Structures are given as structure tokens and as C-alpha cells.
Amino acid sequence: MNVQAESLKLDKDLAYKLVESLTVEVGPRLAGTEADMRSVVWAERQFQQLGFDKVWREPFDMLYWERGQANLTVAAPFNQSLVVTALGGSVGTPFDGISSQVVMFNTLEELTQASTADVKDRIVFINHALEKDIRGGFYGQVVGGRARGAVEAAKLGAKAIIIRSVGSSNNRFAHTGQMRYEEGVERIPAAAISVPDAQQLSKMLAINPELTLSLQMSNNLPGTVTSHNVIAEITGSKRPDEIVLISAHLDSWDEGTGALDDGAGVGIVMATAALLKQEKPERTIRVVLFGNEEGGLIGARAYAARHHQQLAKHVFASESDFGAGRVWRFDTGMGEQALGFARELQKKLTPLGIAMGPNTASGGPDVSILKAQGVPVASLMQDGTDYFDYHHTPNDTLDKIDPTALKQNLEAWLIMTREIANSQVNLRL
Amino acid sequence: MNVQAESLKLDKDLAYKLVESLTVEVGPRLAGTEADMRSVVWAERQFQQLGFDKVWREPFDMLYWERGQANLTVAAPFNQSLVVTALGGSVGTPFDGISSQVVMFNTLEELTQASTADVKDRIVFINHALEKDIRGGFYGQVVGGRARGAVEAAKLGAKAIIIRSVGSSNNRFAHTGQMRYEEGVERIPAAAISVPDAQQLSKMLAINPELTLSLQMSNNLPGTVTSHNVIAEITGSKRPDEIVLISAHLDSWDEGTGALDDGAGVGIVMATAALLKQEKPERTIRVVLFGNEEGGLIGARAYAARHHQQLAKHVFASESDFGAGRVWRFDTGMGEQALGFARELQKKLTPLGIAMGPNTASGGPDVSILKAQGVPVASLMQDGTDYFDYHHTPNDTLDKIDPTALKQNLEAWLIMTREIANSQVNLRL
Ligand SMILES: [Zn+2]
Ligand SMILES: [Zn+2]
Ligand SMILES: [Zn+2]
Ligand SMILES: [Zn+2]
């Protein structure tokens, strides 16, 4: 893409053009890869072409993880392959794979209550379904199996763990996502199967509880590499030292092109600041495109550490990282005195169909790190009903973005950012 | 599954139970494979347990094709992988793959009108979109690129061909399906990319028309093997020599579990005959589960050749092979005098929401071979609006079948088969 600053005016398609350019020209951009580096160069070039006053990158160290092949087969008499993907951070299996009987649990909690006798030397299967919800409200209940399943299974002697994807679609895609190990607990391979495959496997187990699976994965963890946060500013015309931080994450999982997660957010916040430049906002608008959100908010933690002294001058922070659905609610996470200002702001959002929400916003995954250090936040809550249909799958591609809904997001971000950037209110109070 | 004849009564869930058993216990069953053989054994066992009077298999020779790995990558500056699958019958590439510039055409016709200068040494890309339709009516216009694209591209000197999947969904699955070569024309590799990848590729070509792709596939064509049609009969109580043939195909592509194509049809026709047994139909009901439909109606041709002398005694034939959507129309392909009978039959279908259709039915892909030899046919037309969302993809799995719609199919097949089996009408006249 080649958007020139002069041609911008009020181009409400700018967010879409940016996510299109990112997903087509860079594509998948797993943190630490060559594609991640291309996305950093892409972001710097876009910021420059959009006429930002300052553009820079901030490096940080991260553990690099590389996906290999993944195969999961059901032994005789059923002899078939299941659709599987490695969870991010997982070790591989021995070259010949791991073959073992399966033991199924409905939830992570059920696994933690099992006995070693039930689990030892088996492949654990957590078959926890994710229900749909506008806020993705059930994700938190289900994602524990992905994040902590390997540790709990290993404590009971399991050889490997597979989970039903943390996804709400019956399309046959496995959903990846980060998993964790724990010091002192054996590191066993962890993978996800698609929702139809989880249903298939549970039907097979009902027929033959002695069923054997073979899992073969060739992931690598080659060590530490450097990634980057990319940062750009529109310098404030009156109070340049006061920072209004708007953000998204630049990295994505490697199987889709990261359109919903989080190309949409990248497009929204870059476009917001670019379009506000001509209005000469009073406070500085800083756009942060965080690196390696997916690996565990690694870029956000690096940002918070590096800017520790400056956080008092961060008057506000927010992140767009929940796909491209319409904004339906304005949630805040600020001081009680600031809520009057927030309600006035929300009135300006009303024509877009955005209601006032509670004062419990996290601000977004990366921004939650700043909130924990006292930075006031808000969240323009997006309709996430379908978000977990696509989240972390090969199916997260540009065509899943509704340009009209993305435009509504941009309009909401313009209002929120403008009001805060031109105000003198202290949102901490 | 273990359905006993005595427990059958009027079990309207029987079709679903059968397709569930086939897809879970056998799974994908590409013709000529070990799984195909397991499906033959499965079918014989089910027919016997359902109390059919005769059960047998009829072998035929076929060319065996084996899918290997398939990879398609876009070269710098975009450096990304596209979702690709080999078309059935395609040769592989050299081990290191084929790397070349791409030339895009919107249709097969456009390709046939191109000059050698445009195509020579390139990878041809046919980007023909499939529109949705209740009858899948646009399939015939688009599928030519899959079937004949390799021949037309090779005539102009292309190194390989990729097509936009003949599919109507924006889910990121590539749709496989049979392609053909022609004697005397070079056999070049042929593959399909998913709809989102076709869109992605055309966006890339708009930015960089010199784009290079690398295709690597390792398919094998090891030669001739034996597959089987599986046949079972309920002997007619009054006119046992008159055959009412109802059918589906037992084989499936290898990436899904063949639930819609054609496990649903298998369940419907097996259940229809099994449930009619207790009514002692006057004519013989013969269920034929054709082998290797996907490779080009191979089992159907073998059946027609083997039973050539007996075709005059085939009073009727029909096949269920269009997924599991509700039946909405009753089309016929019979003599003019028989249409009065057909209209009476259709009246009995009216409560199921089934209208009278034209007298141009093919009877179904396999049955069209019998129709060509004078056997009267009909087609219970299914709602195929979503059929090509799933057709020939890994996503063709049991969860895509609506049990209520499948029951409606079974009810329609029971009525049609009963009326014809108990009639003395000559449908040829
Ligand atoms: Zn995200
Ligand atoms: Zn994510
Ligand atoms: Zn079929
Ligand atoms: Zn088919």
C-alpha cells in the first residue's frame, strides 16, 4: 500500500486499507520470524507515509518457538487422521511419535482431580466445549485447558495432551494458542484438535475406550531472538508531554494471516491517529504496535519496563484486540471523578450504537500491563460473537472482516481518542 | 454400530445412525485404499445385520491414486504459504517442486483463448468463483476448470495449474475433486487453493504481476487395484425379477469423512430398504453402494457392463448423492405415459414439502449411466445451497448433517420406493 498523507483527508476506509496491506503483503507474522521482521519494516514505512511526527522501534528479547509438522492418527480399527495443530510453545515428540491409550476429561478441573493411575503413560484429552457470547465471556473458563493442561497432565504422568480447540465453530480447523510449562514439571507435547475431530474422537471412545492415538510433532525451541514494538507519535499541539496511548499487536499466529487477530486492531489505531493529525490534537497521540502479544504479552512487558519512569505521563491507554466486530459498549477503567467526563464522551458515541459500560475495563491484553501500573484505560468493546470461530486458526483471513463494521470501529476510536487528546481531565482521579 | 433387524420397526433415525457409524468407524475411504476395503466390509456387515435377503460384492479394476504432500508458497516479497490440495488423479511435481511466474485467467474459456506466449513455462491460475444455488446449478459452469484445466494449460506449454476451489464458502479449505489428462498432452500437476487464498493471490498479483509461486506435490499413481460395488436386496414378494434400484456411493475423498458426500446417501438408501422389508414389497428392492464414484463413476460403469443383460429387468433406478439437505422437488426421467403415476406419487410427497419437477432427471451421477441405457429414473432433489461449502473438503464431517433434514429425506425415499416397488406400472412407457 502507498497511502500518502495529503490524500488522507477523512478516509474512513483507511483502517481497512491498512489491514489489507498487512495481511496480503506481509501475511502471517509469528513473533521472532522473518515475517515478524517484515511486519516491523511494514509498520515503520506506513507510519512514515501517513505523516506521523516520530516513528521508532524498540527491541526486546524473546524465546523463539518454531512450528513443525503435526500428525495425529487413530489406530485400528478406525485408522484415520485427525486435524491437529501444535500449541504455541509446545515441545515436539520423539521422531517416531508417541503412541498410547487416551483418557478423556471434560474440563481441566476434572483432570486435576484425577488419580495418577488413570493418567500415567496415557495421552490426556480435554474435551471442553466453548459456548458463543458477545463478550467471548466463556473463553476464560475454557482456555485454562490450553494454558495449564500440559502441566497438570504431566504431574499425573501423562505422555502428551491434546485439547478440543478453544473455538466456537464446527469448521474443521484446530485453534492454536500459547501454552505454558512449569519449572520442575516434565515438559510434554501439547496440541489441539478441531471441534469436529473432538466430537469424532469422543464417539470413537464411546465405542472403544481402549483406543490408541499416535501423536507426532516436530516443533523447535531454538532459543532467544530479538523482536520489536513499533511506536509512532502525533506530537501534541498544547501538552506534548502528555501521552494518549492507543495500541494493537503487530504479531500474529502463523497459520492464518492474522486479519482479525490483530490486523484489524492495527488498522484501526494507525488510521485513528493518522486521521486526527490534521486536527492538531492537544496531547500527544502515541500509537504502539506491540510485538509478541501471542507469546504472553512479551512486547507489552518490555514496553512497561522500558517506559517505567514515563508512565505517570501516560494519561490514557487502550488497545483494539478483539477482531473486527462492531463496537457496542464503552467500558472504562479510570478514577471515579473522571467518570463524568467518560459519560460525556459516551454520549458522543451513542449515534454509533455504543452504550455506557462498567468501570472494570482491562484496556486490552497488552494494555492490562499498563493498567496494573496505574495508567487509566478504556475498552471499546467489540461484538465478539463470532471471534472465536476464527481465532488462532488458518481461517483468520481478510475476507472475515466486514468493512462496514471496521469503519464503525474507526469512527468510535476517532471520537474516543479525540476527546481524550483534547481534554485536560486527569483520568487517574 | 449394531442395529438388529428386530429392533428396527420404523426407526426414522436409522439413516443417521448408519452415516454416523460409517463416518466414525470407517472415516475417509478413498477408492482403492485400505479404508475403502474396510467400508466394503462395513457395508456387508450392516446389510446382514439389517436382515437383507441377499448381500454380495462385485469387484472391478480401477486406477489407484495416492495423495502425497502438497505445498504452495509465494516467493518474496510476500513469502507466505497458501492452502492447497492436489486434485484427484494429478501427477506430482519433481521433488524440488516447480517455481514459476503465475498467469491468471477468470475462466477455463479465457485460458483456451490465450496464446502460448502468455502461458508457456508459467503456472496457470484459474480464478473462477462459484455462486450459491439450491440446485448447485453453477457447478457445471465452473467445474470444467478442475476437470479440463490441466489439459488446456498443458497444450499452451504451462508447467502446472492451480484453480480457485470449486466451492461456495469463504472457509479456508481447498476443495479436491477428479481431474483428467488427455492422451498425447503433457501431464502437468494440478491443484486447488481455497477461496480466501484465491482472493489473496489475486490481490498479490494486482500489486506484483511478476509474482513467482512454488508448487511441490508428491502424489503417486501406483497402478491398477481392485475395488467393489456392494449390493444387497430385499426380495420382491410378488415380482421378484423386477428390480427397483436405489443407490448411493460408498467411496469418498480422503480429506473429510465423506458425511455429506456421500455417507448421507448411503444411510438414506440402506435405511429405506431395511425399513420397507417388513412391508414385503412386491418388486425386489436392490440397494447398490457404488465404488469409486469420485474417480469418474468407475463402479457404476462396471455395474452397467456386468448387468448389461439384466438391465431390461431394472424397472427403476435412483441415487442419493447431493448431501443431506431437505428434499424439495421430485424430478423424473421416465416415459410420458408413466407421468400420471409419477404425479400421483408426488401427491404423497406433498406433506413433506416436495413439489413436482420436470421430466429431465439424471437419477444421480452413477445412475445416469443406467439412464443412458434406458433405465427409468427419478431424483429426489435436495436443497444444495450449502453443499458446495463442504464438498470435497476436510470439512465434510458428520456435524454438518442436520438429523431432522436427513429424516425428511428418509421419509421421502420410503414413499418413492414403496410406491414404485408395489406398483405394476412400466416406467419406460
Ligand atoms: Zn490478539
Ligand atoms: Zn491471539
Ligand atoms: Zn458424491
Ligand atoms: Zn463427490
pLDDT in tens, A333-378: 999 999 999 999 999 999 999 999 999 999 999 999 999 999 999 9
Residue by residue, DSSP assigns B331-365 as: EEES-GGGHHHHHHHHHHHGGGT-EE--S-----T
pLDDT of residue B4: 52
Task: Give the span between the Cα atoms of A131 and B199, in whole angstroms.
Answer: 31
Which residues share a beta bridge with B380? B330
pLDDT in tens, B232-251: 999 999 999 999 999 999 99
Q: DSSP label at A178?
A: B
Each residue's pLDDT tens digit, A369-406: 999 999 999 999 999 999 999 999 999 999 999 999 99
Q: How far is A201 from chain B (nearest CA, A)?
A: 8
Whether B77 sits inside 8 A of A25 (CB atoms) is: yes
A293 included as an active-site residue: yes
The three cell numbers of residue A208 are: 472403544
- Between positions 139 and 198 of A, the ones with CB within 8 A of B are 170-173, 195-196
pLDDT confidence of A12, banded at 50, 70, 90?
confident
**Residue among A52, A50, A145, A72 at smallest CA distance from A104:** A145
User: Does residue A156 have a pLDDT over 90?
Assistant: yes
Tell me, what's the ipTM? 0.94
How far is B369 from chain A, CA to nearest CA, in Å?
32
pLDDT score at B12: 87
Q: Which of A25, A83, A168, A386 is best to mutate for the B interface (most B CBs within 10 A)?
A: A25
> Which pLDDT score, from 0 to 100, does residue B283 have?
98
The pLDDT value recorded for residue A265 is 98
H/E run at residue A265: helix A264-276
* Other beta carbons less than 10 A from residue A8's beta carbon: 17
CA of residue A111 to ligand 1 center, whole Å = 28
Selected catalytic residue, list A293, A319, A411, A419: A293
Give A350 Cα–ligand 1 centroid separation in angstroms.
26
A403 touches chain B (CB under 8 A): no
What residue ranges in B34-173 does DSSP mark as E strands? 54-66, 70-74, 80-82, 84-86, 98-105, 123-126, 160-164
Please identify every stretch of chain B with a pLDDT value under 70, giving residue numbers as ranges. 1-10
Is residue B237 within 8 A of residue B68, CB to CB? The reply is no
Q: What angle do CA B274, B275, B279 make, to 5 degrees?
A: 110
Q: How far is the CA of B395 from the centre of ligand 3 (A)?
A: 15
Nearest to B27 among A78, A195, A257 (CB): A78
Contacts B29 to A, Cβ<8 Å: none
- Domains of chain B (ranges; CATH) run 5-65+223-421 (3.40.630.10), 69-218 (3.50.30.30)
Q: Which residue of A has its CA nearest to B26?
A: A78
Q: Which of A24, A78, A83 lies at the smallest CB-CB distance from B25?
A: A78
- Chain B residues in contact with A403 (beta carbon < 8 A): none
B203 at interface of A, judged by CB pairs closer than 8 A: yes
Specify the DSSP class assigned to residue B15. Answer: H
